[in-house]
Structure 1
Amino acid sequence: MEAIENWLKENGITEVECLVADFTGIARGKIMPANKFMRERGIRLPESVALQSVTGDYVADDLYYKLIDPAEIDMRLHPDENAMFLVPWALEPTAQIIHDTYDKQGNPIELCPRNVLKKVMALYEAKGWSPVVAPELEFYLTKPCNDPDLPLEPPVGRSGRQESGRQSFSIDAANEYDPLFEDVYDYAEAMGLDVDTLIHEEGTAQMEINFLHGDPVNLADQVFLFKRVVREAALKHDVRATFMAKPVEDEPGSSMHVHQSLMDTKTGKNLFSNADGTRSELFMNYIAGLQKYIPFTMPLFAPNVNSYRRLLPDTSAPVNVEWGEDNRTVALRVPDSGPEALRIENRIAGADANPYLALAATLLCGYMGIMEGLQPSKPASGSAYKIRDRNMPVHLEHALEKMESSEEIKAMLGEKFIRAYVAVKRAEYENFKRVISSWEREYLLLTV
């Protein structure tokens, strides 16, 4: 705690936000005065926080008390001195510190997403390997809209006009929101986030931010907090930012592409390349692992009902687990790079995915491919959008059924985690099915 106390004092912090991410990626925790935080040396939260759905509801009682202690005990939160960040939009000097969660015996809480990612990282550490990732996060800017039945509209830019049409990679279109993005970059710099390139994506008022490559836990922390950054900057300018996978009808969905490679921890060598620059057997095993196990981990890449609206044919999103070289139509793209930068880009995850769980899933799939010595299919050539994969779930219910059917995934991530995650997502799906959509009212009300 000494390093944390020194950092708080050096930055004149008067308030601390103690954060953990739930299954959805919502920041849960407590806010307290800095002197109280230092005096208490950690806080507690109910274990039930891990079972909250996106609506704030919980799973049914018959499952609830099987997944957590019936006494609804507390989790012990330990602050991570490597995950301390300023809150640059706060009115007084405030810190946000990400915490890890443990039971009273000191064991990591199985249901907490950051612990799930650390569990997967430990598999690599035991082999002397260090995964490296670089996420690319897409999102939409929209006008404020308080009626969920109304479609979203692009915001008004500096010119006083709304964007129309698709302006992929347009500098002028991105500059329409320059004051907002100046705040985004200022906030990110103050927090030490490794954000790199800003790109105007294909959709109307759709943007993408790329992160520099690095350690998966640290990058998951950064993506988790970056969503807060963008939302806060947008609010300041009377704009809204959404990371829904498919927020706008007839527009492309928003993804979180993840570039990944594997380094030898001691030498720093890229293990995806042989000494002569050719692709290693380990590289091929890794791709094959992604191909085999992505269909069984889809709820971690596409966690919501809305996620699967993005993964439809002709939506600029992958619909299979094909791989290919310099091919953006496949799920697993191998960018055109030299041997030292050889990597795989997993294009499955939506922007709505919990970054801890999405990174855990992609790294786990690759690891399992290596351990099983799997071989991938032949690389796809040309457009892969027409190649339908029958193993790929097409909706959330199908995805949950596949994940809970995989004994291999249960063994790796823990049966308790799988049961809890599936239960929470099923509770959300049941809530969704109770809502009557505008499509049903428009086409069924007077015709059936």
Structure 2
Amino acid sequence: MEELKKWLTEHKITEIECITPDQTGIARGKIMPTDKFLAEGGIRLPESILLQTATGDYPDDDVFYRLLDPRDIDMLLRPDGVPFTIPWAAEPSAQIIHDCHDSMGNLMELSPRAVLKKILNLYEEKGWQPIVAPEVEFYLTKRCTDPDIPLEPPYGRSGRQESGRQSFSIDAANEFDPIVEDIYDWAEDMGLDIDTLIHEEGAAQLEFNFRHGDALKLADQVFIFKRLVREAALKHKMNATFMAKPVSGEPGSSMHVHQSLVDAKSGHNLFSNKDGTASTLFHHYIGGLQAYIPSVMPMLAPNVNSYRRYLPGADGNSPVNIEWAEENRTVGLRVPDAPPAARRVENRLPGSDVNPYLALAANLLCGYLGMINEVKPRTPATGRMGNEADDTMPWNLEAALENMSNCEEIREILGNDFVDGYVATRWAEYEGFKKVISSWERQYLLSTV
């Protein structure tokens, strides 16, 4: 706390946002003066926020009261990790990510940050250190307050809206220079390790890549980055969305995750042998991804909208398979062309709507189980993969939730409380979705059935 106090004093911070991610990835917490924060050393919040959905609703009472105290008691949140400045605030402010603890001081099992820490502890026990690098896509859109109106691209510097595909176009990216400069400047102020920017396929769709590093640190940074981008968009009178599929007819937004494994002491890449060839651990890690991704899909595709990215039988831009191959973007698990020291695998299935803590935990859990159980991967794919769906995968939320609920190995590591609670929040959101009559139904069924 002394080091934190010194940092707050040096930066003349007068106000602090004490935040923690809920299961959807929404920042929940309290805002308080710095003096009060330092005097108390933590905050209290209701345990129930860990079972809150994106709509602010909760699962059915039988799940809620089985997993949480029926009195809706408080949990204690303690600061963990580095603070982040808030460059868009009117006065010197900071946001500090907190861990959630029960009355006995234990991490709350329903907390996404605790889930990732649990998986990282498994690696630490083996002397392994996972290295990850997320790539986060999002759309910039015109402001629109009516949810029934489709989203449109904003106007760029030229005063025009984008049309057609602009993949990797420098000129298209430069159309949004004012907001991009703010994103880079604010990220530098906050210490976020963002690297390259590209313009993706969609109209006003951008991608920021993070430098590779520690999984918990990067989960924190992606969590904060989403807030940063939304604030930058608001400053420039537009919106930013990380929905997996926000615009019909346009590509979805993903969060590809590059992942590798090093020896915690020597730093040697354990995915490569000394002669530069791929190691047994590397193949087992991929085997684990292929074997267990079908059971953790709700952590990689958490919302009903998430599955609109996957278009089996259609010309979609997201893989609908869990095959692996080197230098092949049509597979779900791509191995980039890299020297042995940088050998890694890229999971191209997660959407950008994920909770970054849970998405990274899911990837690392699958790889861990593959290595522990010595799971052999499938034969590498050759050539371009078509859009025929992998029949081992759940391509809708209902099937994904059933898979996760029924996987005993996932339950054994993540815990029954987390699995039951997380699945229950997803079901609660899905039930809310089913109550809404869509424009498609009105357009095609209103006068024809």
What interval of TM-score do these two structures reach, taking the shorter chain for normalisation? Answer: over 0.9
Per-residue Cα deviation, 1:274-317 (whole angstroms, up to 9, x for no partner): 00000000000000000000000000000000000001132110
Matched residue, 2:41: 41
Matched residue, 2:274: 275
TM-fit CA distance, 1:388: 2.3
- Aligned pair count? 447
TM-fit CA distance, 1:387: 4.0
Matched residue, 2:316: 315
Structure 2 alignment gaps of length 5 or more: none
Per-residue Cα deviation, 1:348-384 (whole angstroms, up to 9, x for no partner): 1000000000000000000000000010001111122
TM-fit CA distance, 1:104: 1.4
TM-fit CA distance, 1:34: 0.3
Structure 1 alignment gaps of length 5 or more: none
Distance 1:25 1:103 in 2: 20
- Secondary structure in 1 aligned to 2:207? strand
Matched residue, 1:57: 57
- Secondary structure in 2 aligned to 1:83? coil
> Which runs of 4 or more aligned residues in structure 1 lie more than 4 Å from their structure 2 counterparts after TM superposition?
none
Distance 2:238 2:382 in 1: 41
Distance 1:64 1:116 in 2: 19
TM-fit CA distance, 1:74: 1.1
- Secondary structure in 1 aligned to 2:378? coil
Confirm whether residue 72 of structure 1 aligns to residue 72 of structure 2: yes
- Is contact 1:83-1:218 (8 Å) kept? no
Amino acid at match of 2:67: L
Distance 2:82 2:385 in 1: 40
Matched residue, 1:346: 347
Distance 1:325 1:41 in 2: 49
Matched residue, 2:435: 434
Distance 1:368 1:260 in 2: 15
Aligned-residue CA RMSD (Å): 0.7
Distance 1:178 1:60 in 2: 46
Amino acid at match of 1:425: R
- Secondary structure in 1 aligned to 2:37? helix
Amino acid at match of 2:427: R
- Is contact 1:200-1:207 (8 Å) kept? yes
Matched residue, 1:332: 333
Distance 1:264 1:213 in 2: 15
Between the two proteins, what is the percent identity of the paired residues?
Answer: 66
- Is contact 1:167-1:202 (8 Å) kept? yes
Distance 1:305 1:40 in 2: 40
Distance 1:369 1:382 in 2: 25
Query: TM-score of the superposition, structure 2-length normalised?
Result: 0.99
Query: TM-score of the superposition, structure 1-length normalised?
Result: 0.99
Matched residue, 1:10: 10
- Secondary structure in 1 aligned to 2:369? helix
Distance 2:183 2:390 in 1: 39
Matched residue, 1:376: 377
TM-fit CA distance, 1:50: 0.3
Matched residue, 1:105: 104
TM-fit CA distance, 1:67: 1.2
Amino acid at match of 1:311: Y
Map 1:228-307; keep pairs closer than 5 Å.
Answer: 228-307=227-306
Matched residue, 1:93: 92
Matched residue, 1:199: 198
- Secondary structure in 2 aligned to 1:31? strand
